[in-house]
Structure 1
Amino acid sequence: MSTHTSPVSPSIRLASVEVSKFRRLAQTRLDLDEATTIMVGANNSGKTSLLTAIRNFLDESPRFKAFDISLSQWPKLRELGRLWEALTEDPATDSSTRDKWDDQLRDFLATMPFVDLWFDAKEGAYNHVAPFITSLKWSGGPVGIRLRLEPASTIDELQSLAWRYREARAPVSKLKDGHAWPIDLLDYWLRQSNDLARRVVVYRLDPAKGPQGGATPYEVQALQPDTEPVDLKHLRRLIRVDFIAAQRGLGVEEDEARSESVGARPGLFTGQLLKFARQHLNVGTPGTRQPEELATAIAKAQADFDDTIYRALKPSMEDVEVLGYPGLYDPQEILFRTRIQTADLLAHGTAVQYRLDKKAVDELLPEHSIGLGYQNLQSLSFQLVSFRTARLNPSQGAPAPVHLVMLEEPEAHLHVQVQRILPQKAHGLICPKAAEHSNLRSQLLISTHSSHLAHADSFARLRYVRRLSKQGEGTMPSTEVVNLGDAFGNDTETQIFAERYFQVQHTDLLFADAAVFVEGTAERMLIPLFIERYFKKLSQRYVSFLDIGGSHAHRLQPLVERLGIPTVIITDLDPVQPTENEKGRTVKVAVHIEDQEDLECGNATLTSWHPKLAEFQAYGTPKPEDLQWASPNGVKVRFAWQLPVAEASNRWPSSFEDSLVLSNLIWFKALGKEIDPKTGKEKEHIGTLGRLISLVADHPDHAELLKALHKLLHGSFNKGDFAATIFEQLNANQPITCPAYIADALTWLQTHLTPTSGETM
């Protein structure tokens, strides 16, 4: 009789990583999803630094550099260097100064970067976390581990470092130019990087003081002087980390791959297969070329061997197909054609070949003949499968219960369709399939600049890496990570709206320096041209434009607050007038502003977010505080709506289109009097432009013109055609003026995106 055993769920996961004093990461916490976490953010926000920090501290062969130490700690290290430079004898020979060196060691270690790992562990994970538990009564819960870079961990080691630095500095300390190596302790480490490499020390942390059990933000706990380190091997048994760097060199191997010489460089996917075969299939490497008389035997052996390789790799190759390849027009089958006479059986450019048609026997193409997207996809997929296989390799001992795989910008050369499914499918490739491994946790951490990849999943998995400018004199720019899954609180309806809007629009808001919300198509087309022409500094910034009307922009308020980037919301007043319809019901009808009574603002963003003015006429003469909104944490938003136009006798338009016309009356009148050089008569303008020119010419009175414009815009007028027409005229360098209410808002944004002295964006 057989019994069914339900799969065992993973008993432990990596919940968060907090990086301190590493590059610009002063104190940056990253909360990880149980499966897949996607990091987004503008350039130079700190995404790469986060990945590098995790990799450096958890890799078996860390390689720290001097510039990995936070800029904020450099003055303290330079001061220590000056103290060491003044040494007159080896401090190891003078025991009377022991107390002084104890203080210096404390100050020295306080400058070093460190990473805190916080795990959520169930009671069943005791064997894995036992070396890091601080309580004798542990029954599950958070487990904290600190990894700190320690070029010197004891007084003796610090004295040795100090004397080595003093000896290197002494010959150049009196030189006037001050540029001879080493200038200071940081400069010393640039050449003597071995002092930093592989010097990671592990400590236990008190879970009661960790992020899972306390308030946010919380104070990073300080290690007590008598805290004993934990053997690094225990951490290696707890978590395995693999990393795939951004593919920035694809295609360079094509010329070399054309060579048929033994030393030809293999393609990207071939290299992955070679590494996989050597590590997991026990493929040998013959030492010399076989004698010529054995050619016949070699041919048969080669065919048999190719088939063996194919069958051995076939399960892994089937995993790769979950990302959507092969498609209808992609290579349909992968074959292997090894050359036994080579030093490495798979280490040549034609080891992997592709058959475009399964029925074709000899129509084979080498790897470099296939598109970069296909090469990158195959390589990326196979690396993920290789990581999984390496984790489960019996020769490496018991598999680590937690496996963290980091992907840096995997979207390179990948088609949009693949980017959309990559997060889910990639996580499946690193997860063990056998039921016996169901207790193992696999977590994926992706950094990306792709809106398609970022919006492929729920906001709950998005982490926005946000730059923080200097908070005061003597401070340095830093970084924080915002969990966008918390942005909308319990408002599930708004979160779903935002997720669907982003999936449809594929906006680059999550990667921008600033945001501009616009009302409709015309503003979306024309405002970027106005910026390019009239706001040169602003045009050099990464600004995201969102076409979302005033009825919905306010729904993104929580997201704007969390992103923390300067934002401009350009919207319409939407004046409405309560009117009784023929059935006796009171409805609000869109009207023009001129000579109207009982007007109300019909724009939900202005009435529910800001400025919420009680009287409609107050929108015509707003105060500075009416135009700008700030959140409690300092996020600034500038609102802009139609204001009376000075060029049109201070008449008050109610839409972008009539505001643009009133702001450019001189230009429209000049077009109406333009002479055609071929006929010598007034040039005839047709279409939308012609209708507007005629309207301006027929209504010299600005009040009447405004009424006529409102009637036209709410009739058969095509606003899309209007936008395209003005777009064409702007591209032709016509002197079209940006409406003042928009120009003022863009000036505000340009000012907020201009770095102050000593600050970088």
Structure 2
Amino acid sequence: MLLTKINVQNYRLLVNAWMDVDSSMTLIVGRNNTAKTSCMDIIEKVLKGHPLSYDDYPLSKRQELFDLFTSFMKKDISYDELNEKLQFTSVELTIDYSLDDPNSNLGALSPFIIDVDVDTTSALIKAEYGLKLDENSLYELFEDAFYTEGKFLPNLEETRDICNSSFSKIFGLTIYAINPKNYSDTQIKTQGELSELFPFFSIPAERILGEDGAQNNSSLSALITNYFSVNVDELNSDVATEIKNLRKIVEEANKTVQKHSNELLSSVVNKAVGFGYPNAEELQLGVSTKLRIDEQIMDHTKLTYTSDVVGETLPSSHNGLGYKNLIKMEFLLADYAQRIGQGNNVCIPLLFIEEPESHMHPQMQHAFAEYLETFLQAITDVHIQTFLTSHSAHIANTIDFSKIRYAQKTTTGVEYKNLHTFAQDNPTNMDFIKKYLTLSRCDLFFADKIIFIEGASERLLLPDMIEKCEKEGLFNSQKYKLPAQYYALIEIGGAYAYKFIPFVNFLGIPCLILTDIDSMIDGRTKSVVSKGKTTSNVTIKWWMRKLKNISEKSKISLPDVIALKDDEKTMDKCHLEFQTEEQGLCGRSLEEAIRNVNRTHYGLSVTPSEAEIEFDEKSKTDFALKLIYDNPNYTIPQYIKNGLMWLNDQKVLM
């Protein structure tokens, strides 16, 4: 049995968010503040029976909440109508058990299967924070906020204060089993039954590693000393043998030290006491101390790192945080696997790891992501569905594309987009995108905006050009200008940029494509722009065919490309820019466009020919570096400025 879908309603930014869950591992990526963790937060709340707070209720829904309470208090709507109209916070979980043996025990899922149809292989569970207070109690709670000396005088601030302080009193958690073929057919279940079905464990991003030497309940050292209290029968046989030996040694040491300590201290006390007491006929003084070596071990055990070369040890604080983070996660995962192995194996364990990349260098991040599933399979026979959130391009590169869910924030909430769905709908260019993202970095998953560029010159010059445009005041239309926005600069080339256009539109990320016009006489012969008949640039040709509905066999006309209006250079969330005419000439590449608008620097006449601005150097990298070093005040080609100003003005939220 597997969890296949999650629907969260009215929880923080998740107003109505669906997530397709992978059978083994689901990676949630996205830019900052896109509710990557919120989905797991609300699941943990309902599985542990935690109350809902006012801060968890969406900002966008609060005015509607206040309006409905106002209507109820004014008696314009009844309590039942209020209950129907309120938009509650809820989680729906869809379980598929089609692959299970029909004759096998469904274990913890059994209480939630209420459809008697033998052909039904899915179960639907809803956990909802509905109205908990009865009509009279709810009225009394808000009465002072709406009535003054018997008059209806609503006070919004006081209403908000009551919601803030009493939200968990107003709304309570109820668990429903729902007939997937008849949504109105429901049964109320207990929170205990739900938590038994979904053993949940989370490893938060803020992992305490005990780096300061202090030990607490969640430090790495504490995890190790817990072996003194664990039931050895529940451990791996090799580990259990070692733990038994350790406990035996400690027990014998306790007895020996206890005996010698008592004898020694009793002798000291009897010799020190005078004044005739005790005499030989009285009970003699003795001392009994309770020494517990195991407690000392548990309270003072610290991780150390030993050098086999010199035979010396160093404290754990001398080792890298990345290794400690990895070691701690291994212990936590092993502990979780042990606990779910003790109980009902017919369940759906859920594991959530938030930002595992903390303190890890790129290679370690890659190794962690690559071997996590293998590690889990090695430590337990129970199938665990794992959720990861990450800001790491290295982890995103490692995880299979089909397992990635992109969290996109919109003006109405957050959507979790299934990249596997896009791959199925766009098979023609998906292989290239997968390979490119594997070889390159998945920065586009974490950026607010994207700039696709041709090659080395653009990669070196664009950051400097953006800084220059800011100094010229070209970005003043926005409070937060482009340099302060989170943009990703991705080198892809004009031959392949078009393959990403449907993808970035699917993700909903504003995208600027800076490419070369690449004028040609025909399909084989380069030419200056003024004499060009067509273009060799594949992305421009793709754009023209989409825009003008031109067939694949038809030749793209260069004059038609040059004649494109500004609005025709924008398609959904993408904008295309290429070289334009300046000072009477148009270069066919970035380098030629730069030479054209910086004629004095390159020793050109005031009115050069197209042949004179032609770029014939061997290294584009050298060209870009020389420009920045020798002519820091160079002029930026206008098409670059146009594209950057367009990107600067784009809104991230749709």
Report the TM range for the smaller structure's normalisation. Answer: 0.7 to 0.9
Aligned to 1:702: 608
Helix, strand or coil at the partner of 2:451: strand
After superposition, the Cα gap between the structure-2 partners of 1:267 and 1:125, relative to the gap in structure 1 and judged at 3 Å, is: closer
Alignment of 1:75-90 (within 5 A): 75-82=63-70
Residue 51 of structure 1 pairs with residue 40 of structure 2: yes
Query: 5+ unaligned residues in a row in structure 1: which ranges?
Result: 1-11, 88-96, 210-222, 258-263, 299-338, 470-476, 579-586, 631-635, 669-692
1:257-278 deviation line (CA, Å, top 9, x unaligned): 4xxxxxx658831132245654
Alignment of 1:157-556 (within 5 A): 157-166=134-143, 183-192=157-166, 194-195=168-169, 199-208=172-181, 224=184, 227-247=186-206, 253-257=210-214, 265=216, 268-275=219-226, 278-281=229-232, 294=258, 340-341=292-293, 343=295, 345-348=297-300, 350-357=301-308, 361=311, 363-393=312-342, 397-431=343-377, 437=381, 440-469=382-411, 477-489=412-424, 494-535=429-470, 536=475, 537-556=481-500
Task: Give the C-alpha shift of residue 133 in structure 1.
Answer: 2.5
Deviations 1:278-336 (A, max 9, x none): 4555999x9xx9799538799xxxxxxxxxxxxxxxxxxxxxxxxxxxxxxxxxxxxxx
Check if 1:592 corresponds to 2:568: no
Secondary structure of the corresponding residue to residue 487 of structure 1: helix
Q: CA deviation at 1:387?
A: 0.9
Conserved 8 A contact 2:174-2:188: yes
Q: Which residue of 1 aligns with 2:19?
A: 30
**TM-score, normalised on structure 2?**
0.81
CA distance in 2, matches of 1:722, 1:277: 67
Structure 2 unmatched runs, 5+: 234-242, 263-290, 476-480, 551-555
Shift of 1:43: 0.9
Q: Structure 1: how far apart are the matches of 2:568 and 2:576?
A: 8
CA distance in 2, matches of 1:254, 1:550: 49
Whole-angstrom CA distance in 1 between matches of 2:121 and 2:134 = 37
Aligned to 1:324: none
Q: Secondary structure at the match of 1:247?
A: coil
2-structure distance, mates of 1:280, 1:246: 29
User: Which amino acid counterpart does residue 231 of structure 1 have in structure 2?
Assistant: T
| 8 Å Cα contact 2:516-2:578 kept in structure 1 | yes
Q: Note closer, same or farther for the CA distance 1:296–1:502 as it changes in structure 2 (3 Å cut).
A: farther
Structure 2 partner of 1:680: none
The question of whether the paired residues in 2 share the 8 Å contact of 1:515 and 1:545 is answered with yes
1:584-623 to structure 2, matched below 5 A, reads 588-594=524-530, 596=531, 599-610=533-544, 611=547, 614-623=556-565
Three-state SS of the structure 2 residue aligned to 1:33 is coil
Tell me the alpha carbon deviations over residues 505-529 of structure 1, each in whole angstroms, 9 at most, x when there is no partner.
2141001111111111111121122
Return the offset for 1:165. 4.1
Residue 193 of structure 1 and its aligned partner are, at CA, apart by 5.4
Q: How many corresponding residue pairs?
A: 589
Q: Distance in 2 between matches of 1:100 and 1:193?
A: 20
The residue number in structure 1 matching 2:82 is 104
**CA shift in 2, pair 1:166/1:428, >3 Å:** farther
Q: Equivalents in 2 of 1:399, 1:415: separation in Å?
A: 36
Cα distance in 2 for partners of 1:25, 1:255 equals 38
Cα deviation, 1:194-245, whole Å, max 9, x if unaligned, reads 4278x32111234247xxxxxxxxxxxxx64x84412333322322111111
CA contact (8 A) 2:516 2:589 kept: yes
Letter in 2 for 1:230: K
Shift of 1:131: 2.2
- The one-letter amino acid of 1:78's match is F
Distance 1:267 1:160 in 2: 41
**Is the 1:385–1:429 contact (alpha carbons within 8 Å) kept by the matching residues of 2?**
no
Q: Secondary structure at the match of 1:441?
A: coil
Tell me by how many angstroms 1:389 deviates: 0.7
Change in CA separation of 1:141 and 1:346 when aligned onto 2, cut-off 3 Å: same
- 2:637 is aligned to 739
Q: Do the aligned partners of residues 550 and 657 (structure 1) sit closer, same or farther apart at CA in structure 2, a change above 3 Å counting?
A: same
Contact 2:18 2:415 in 1 (8 A): yes
State the one-letter code of the partner of 1:749.
Answer: L
SS in 2 for 1:590: coil
| Residues 606 and 295 of structure 1, relative CA distance in 2, 3 Å threshold | farther
The one-letter code sitting in structure 2 at the alignment partner of 1:114 is S
Give, in whole Å, the separation in 1 of the partners of 2:105 and 2:140. Answer: 45
Instruction: Give secondary structure in 2 for the equivalent of 1:347.
Output: helix
Deviation per CA, 1:627-679: give whole Å up to 9, x if none. 1112xxxxx2110011111xx2x21110001111212335x2xxxxxxxxxxx
Separation (CA, whole Å) in 2 of partners of 1:293 and 1:629: 81
Decide which of 81, 89, 102 is 1:113's aligned counterpart. Answer: 89
* Corresponding position: 1:131 with 2:111: yes
List per-residue Cα deviations over 1:580-617 (Å, max 9, x = no partner). Answer: xxxxxxx60222224x25x2210111112345684212
**In 2: Cα distance, 1:193 partner to 1:550 partner:** 55
- How far apart are 1:132 and its partner, in Å? 2.1
Q: Which residue of 2 aligns with 1:213?
A: none
Q: Answer yes or no: is the 8 Å Cα contact 1:145–1:205 preserved in 2.
A: yes
Displacement after TM superposition at 1:368 (Å) = 2.6
Deviation of 1:248 after TM superposition, in Å, equals 6.2
Give % identity: 23
Q: 1:643 aligns with which of 571, 580, 586?
A: 580
Once residues 41 and 70 of structure 1 are traced to their aligned partners in structure 2, the CA distance between those partners, rounded to angstroms, is: 20
- Which of 43, 46, 54 pairs up with 1:66? 54
Q: Is this contact kept in 2: 1:456–1:503, CA < 8 A?
A: yes
Q: 1:443 is matched by which residue type in structure 2?
A: Q
Whether 2:649 is the aligned partner of 1:751: answer yes
**Residues in 1 aligned to 2:417 and 2:339: alpha-carbon distance in whole angstroms:** 33
Give the secondary-structure state (helix, strand or coil) at the position aligned to 1:146: strand
**Deviation by residue 1:13-60 (Cα, 9 ceiling, x = unmatched):** 0001111111121111111111111011111112122221222222x2
